[in-house]
Amino acid sequence: MLQIKVYSDYVCPFCFLGEVVLERALQGIKGQVQIEWMPFELRPYPTPTLKPEEDYLQTTWQNSVYPMAAQLDIPIVLPAVSPQPHTHHAFEGYQYAREKGLGEAYTQRMFRAFFQEEQDIGDLEVLTKLAKEVGLNEEEFRLALKAGKYKQAHLDALKQAYEEVQVTAVPTFIIGNKKVRGLLREEDLRRLIKQELENLPDAR
């Protein structure tokens, strides 16, 4: 089984595009890989987050995000949530979802909720509703986040990203023994995954 780790932030549009491209690249071979989504906060609390109405995001989206999404045929919108949410609570929720075996479904739901439905994924009630949609226990999830039950697990994961893996930009993919920063084309990502599958000891 090939291990793939993806470092991303739920408010990073390139991470959402990367998630979709990865899903496409894995068609027909997904049963041979194990994906683990790893947190990386671009602007950790209390660092101020960006506002969608201001020039920086407007320009970035018009010049980079929208053209890339159109090329990939992925529906995406610059969410009107202002300022953009901090993602530490969403990632604490991810640790709960991961423990329940629903980490990947939760991650996919977060991306689509923010970048296609413009939901505020910094809001506890929104997160709780989304958690329920992917099959998690609504009340248990809410209580866990309110109590900060998964705060330390999230902080430990962040520390690993910053210090051990030395992630400096997202998305970052760790595919077997290869570390790839940024968004790859579907065919390039699939080729790399197949190469790493062939390099597994039990594949020889």
Q: At what angle do helices 103-115 and 124-133 cross, to 10 degrees?
A: 120
Tokens standing for 200?
Answer: 């597994």
* Residue 97 CB coordination number (10 Å): 25
Q: What is the pTM of this model?
A: 0.95
DSSP-derived secondary structure for 61-83? IIIIIHHHHHHHT--------SS
Residue 142 CA: distances (Å) to CA of 94, 97, 105, 185: 12, 12, 18, 38
CA–CA gap between residue 3 and residue 47 (Å, rounded): 32
What string of pLDDT tens digits covers the 204 residues of the chain? 999 999 999 999 999 999 999 999 999 999 999 999 999 999 999 999 999 999 999 999 999 999 999 999 999 999 999 999 999 999 999 999 999 999 999 999 999 999 999 999 999 999 999 999 999 999 999 999 999 999 999 999 999 999 999 999 999 999 998 999 999 999 999 999 999 999 998 755
- DSSP state, residue 100: T
Structural domains in the chain, sorted by start: 2-203 (3.40.30.10)
Tokens standing for 53?
Answer: 């109405």
CA–CA gap between residue 67 and residue 64 (Å, rounded): 6
